[in-house]
């Protein structure tokens, strides 16, 4: 019987990569990087063999989609931020059986989901950046699930999360489940970025205060309250990918029945107008 052994909401800001290079940003994201590395250490200690990533940089316009390739290998440059992420090599095995099972389970629940084994279907950086720090040796199998869902509702994403948990339990996989996306996500307007030191600031004080309130709710175990506000939070604070990653994560955790501890691995930080953190939800 398989299990989710580690679950977390994680950042994937591209400046984490620049933080490791000589220049003005060297060292600037060390707390976020260390949060990722700690999750990798904990995953290996827990016997994790597969990482399932809910990726808010994989945009889909119809249905839900799972990248279930046998192998992920290539060199990645971001179309969105080619000046931030260039020529990043990666190689990770996949877990096609688990990806197929997740899609089948979700479809049984009435949430149309397709599993793909297409070698030219690449990974997005919402998956690649966390893996770069958590699994630099490519030890873990990977399944990536689209979580930038443009015409979908959060309730279906909750059901997909339930399907993820069920499929994992019916497998022989030990899984680390990652919701890869920010909290609030209103990126600075281009003409305001430099004047507001945009790399290190948030674009709206309202968004920051709501982010901090959300983290307080998590710390207090008030998950039911958080989930009641999730649709408005995602809308009013421009949650990344509509916060479908977060709905999937909590669906897998049991939604408002989840009563585990939220542990902050990286304190809240501001980046390019957005709010970021790494938080593990203990099981």
> Could you read off the pLDDT of 176-218 as tens digits, one per residue?
999 999 999 999 999 988 888 889 999 999 999 999 999 999 9
Running DSSP on this structure, what letter comes out for residue 282?
Answer: -
Running DSSP on this structure, what letter comes out for residue 155?
Answer: H
Whether the pLDDT of residue 255 is over 90: the answer is yes
> What pLDDT score was predicted for residue 74?
96
Residue 53, beta-bridge partner list: 144, 178
Q: Which of 4-8, 117-121, 166-170, 191-195 has the lowest mean pLDDT?
A: 191-195
Domains, the chain, ordered by start: 3-281 (3.40.830.10)
Q: Phi then psi for 127, rounded to 5 degrees? A: -95, -45
> What pLDDT score was predicted for residue 77?
97
**What is the average per-residue pLDDT within 132-138?**
97
Count of CA atoms in the C-beta half-sphere (13 A) of 146 = 23
> Could you read off the pLDDT of 42-91 as tens digits, one per residue?
999 999 999 999 999 999 999 999 999 999 999 999 999 998 999 999 99
> What pLDDT score was predicted for residue 107?
98
Whether the pLDDT of residue 139 is over 90: the answer is yes
What pairing do the DSSP bridges indicate for beta strands 141-149 and 174-180?
unpaired
Closest CA to 7 of 32, 42, 34: 42
Sheet holding 50-60, edge to edge: 113-116, 64-67, 141-149, 50-60, 174-180, 3-10, 274-281, 262-271
Alpha helix stretches (DSSP H) within the chain: 15-18, 30-45, 96-108, 125-134, 154-169, 190-193, 205-219, 223-236, 244-253
> What pLDDT score was predicted for residue 2?
97
**What is the average per-residue pLDDT within 156-171?**
98
Where on the phi/psi map is residue 77: left (φ > 0), alpha (ψ -120 to 50), or beta?
beta
> What pLDDT score was predicted for residue 195?
87
Q: In 3-state terms, what secondary structure has residue 55? A: strand
């Amino acid at each position: 019987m398989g299990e989710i052994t580690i679950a977390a909401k994680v950042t994937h800001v591209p400046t984490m990569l620049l933080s490791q290079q000589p220049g003005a940003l060297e060292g600037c994201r060390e707390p976020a990087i260390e949060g990722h590395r700690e999750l990798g250490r904990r995953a290996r200690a827990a016997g994790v063999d597969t990482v399932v990533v809910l990726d808010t940089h994989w945009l889909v316009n119809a249905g839900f989609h799972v990248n279930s390739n046998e192998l992920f290998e290539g060199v990645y440059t971001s179309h969105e931020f080619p000046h931030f992420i260039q020529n990043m090599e990666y190689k990770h095995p996949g877990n096609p059986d688990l990806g197929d099972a997740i899609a089948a389970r979700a479809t049984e629940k009435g949430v149309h989901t397709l599993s793909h084994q297409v070698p030219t279907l690449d990974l997005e950086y919402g998956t690649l950046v966390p893996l770069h720090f958590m699994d630099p040796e490519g030890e873990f199998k990977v399944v990536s699930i689209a979580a930038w869902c443009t015409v979908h509702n959060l309730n279906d994403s909750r059901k997909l999360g339930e399907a993820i948990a069920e499929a994992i339990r019916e497998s022989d996989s030990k899984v680390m489940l990652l919701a890869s996306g920010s909290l609030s996500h209103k990126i600075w307007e281009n003409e305001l970025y430099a004047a507001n030191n945009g790399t290190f600031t948030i674009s709206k004080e309202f968004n920051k205060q709501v982010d901090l309130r959300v983290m307080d709710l998590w710390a207090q175990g008030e998950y039911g309250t958080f989930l009641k506000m999730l649709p408005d939070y995602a809308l009013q604070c421009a949650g990344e990918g509509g916060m479908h990653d977060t709905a999937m994560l909590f669906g897998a955790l049991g939604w408002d029945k989840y009563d585990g501890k939220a542990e902050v691995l990286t304190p809240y930080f501001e980046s390019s107008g957005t709010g970021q953190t790494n938080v593990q939800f203990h099981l």
